[in-house]
Structure 1
Amino acid sequence: MLLKIPESVQTGTVFPLNIAQNFDIGSNTVQNYTISPNFHFPVVTHHRGDGRKYPELVLDKALDREKQPELSLTLTALDGGAPPRSGTTTVRIEVVDINDNAPEFLQSVYEVQIPENSPLNSLVVAVSA
């Protein structure tokens, strides 16, 4: 599963995930979802009107593309059998960059000396930001 999420998304935003397929019925069908430990997303299991359960990720901590451009999480579906059976899938999250950082010069002040007989259109100084 691939989610592309802008780093500007507010905490509390919900991201629906694909439902696991399980052809059993009753308590032997999917009962719960878990997600691998991470700093940004817990998974919440909800109930549909037809009795099936579905997972949603909830953004709990803001994303920052400059610190972590992508995350790879393991989503696990667990059934209610004895013993319980499970299935996993990878949820890959690409953090989409927004223009949240202003350019910075390498120095705060640049000083140059220019000979008075320099030709027109001469390079005086090169700066980088």
Structure 2
Amino acid sequence: MPLKIQESVQPGTVFPLKAAQDPDIGSNAVQNYTVSPNLHFHVVTHSRADGRKYPELVLDRALDREEQPELTLTLTAVDGGSPPKSGTTTVRIEVVDINDNAPQFVQSLYEV
């Protein structure tokens, strides 16, 4: 699941993700989403009017393309069965550059 996010995006910004498909209904359907441990994001699970769950990724810490141009996270969907079953997908995040650095000279004086 590819996702492009500008490095200027503020913490707290929410990114909708695609929901997992589960033909089961009720408590045997998807009940929760989790994301692999990382420094930048957490996932929130929401319910639609029909009871189906869907995930949203929330930015916790600002991104910096110069430090980390790409992030790879694992999104896990867990159902409410006994025992619970789960499925995973990879979320690849490309951090899009903005013009946040000024050009610099190595020396302040050059002689020709």
User: Taking structure 1 as the reference length, what is the TM-score of the superposition?
Assistant: 0.85
Corresponding residue number in structure 2 for 1:61: 61
Query: Separation in 2 of the partners of 1:109 and 1:37?
Result: 47
User: What CA deviation, in whole Å up to 9, does each residue of 1:3-52 have, x standing for no partner?
Assistant: 00000011110000001000001110000000000000000001111100
| Matching of residue 25 in structure 1 with residue 38 in structure 2 | no
TM-fit CA distance, 1:110? 1.3
User: What CA deviation, in whole Å up to 9, does each residue of 1:59-117 have, x standing for no partner?
Assistant: 100000000000000000000001100000000000000000000101111123xxxxx
Q: Which runs of 5+ in 2 are unaligned?
A: none
Corresponding residue number in structure 1 for 2:49: 49
Q: CA RMSD in A?
A: 0.6
Query: Separation in 2 of the partners of 1:54 and 1:91?
Result: 15
User: Taking structure 2 as the reference length, what is the TM-score of the superposition?
Assistant: 0.98
User: What amino acid sits opposite 1:62 in the alignment?
Assistant: A
Greater C-alpha radius of gyration: 1
> Identity of aligned pairs, percent?
80
Corresponding residue number in structure 2 for 1:103: 103
Aligned length: 112
Structure of higher RCO (CA pairs closer than 8 Å, 6+ residues apart): 2
**Which structure is higher in strand share?**
2
Secondary structure, in 3 states, of the residue corresponding to 1:42?
strand
Query: Separation in 2 of the partners of 1:108 and 1:76?
Result: 52
The list of structure 1 runs, each at least 4 consecutive aligned residues, that deviate by more than 6 angstroms after superposition, is none
Q: Which runs of 5+ in 1 are unaligned?
A: 113-129
Corresponding residue number in structure 1 for 2:7: 7
User: What amino acid sits opposite 2:63 in the alignment?
Assistant: L
Query: Separation in 2 of the partners of 1:105 and 1:5?
Result: 30
